[in-house]
Amino acid sequence: MKNMHLLFLCSLLLPISAAANDVLSVDQVGLQGMQFAFENDARIKPKNSDFSVVNSVFMSSEAGKRLAVITVRNDASGSRILEGSHLMALFADGSRKGPSSLTDGIKLDDGELRSVTVSFGEADYPILAIYTSKNFN
């Protein structure tokens, strides 16, 4: 009977520890213009656009979820639709990946700034930079 109580208590604690792994913490504030020289033999880059990443804050969970709060500016003279394919994350192992959460486009008028929270799924390495084709090196 004692073992049954212990098993019951352990089963109650598992969801709590799993939820703790989903808690996000801020990794760093992205430093715009910082140069990285990872190889990009596959020429992975974001879709051409008139958007610029003005600033970004990177977040992660213990389980490896990677998110970023980014502020994007529409540099075009008219309104444009920001799509996930316009953004790219550079990870600390040199890999690149587009967002998994920006599936619907976001309309931005000319010169408009917009902050959005974007998920980049799970990864072993942290995000170093978020960029668009205008920020691409």
- In this prediction, residue 34 carries a pLDDT of 74
- Provide mean pLDDT across the span 71-79: 96
CATH number at residue 110: 2.60.40
How large a percentage of the chain has pLDDT more than 90?
62
Query: Residue 84 CB: number of other CB atoms within 10 A?
Result: 19
Mean pLDDT of the chain: 83
- In this prediction, residue 122 carries a pLDDT of 95
pTM assigned to the model = 0.79
Residue 23 included in any domain: no
* Total domains in the fold of the chain: 1
- In this prediction, residue 52 carries a pLDDT of 95
Which residues lie below 8 Å from residue 120, measured CB to CB, with a gap of 6+?
A: 66, 67, 68, 89, 97, 98, 99, 100, 127
Q: Which domain holds residue 57?
A: 43-132
Between residues 95 and 18, which one has the greater pLDDT? 95
> Kindly report the CA angle at 37 between 35 and 41, in degrees rounded to 5?
135
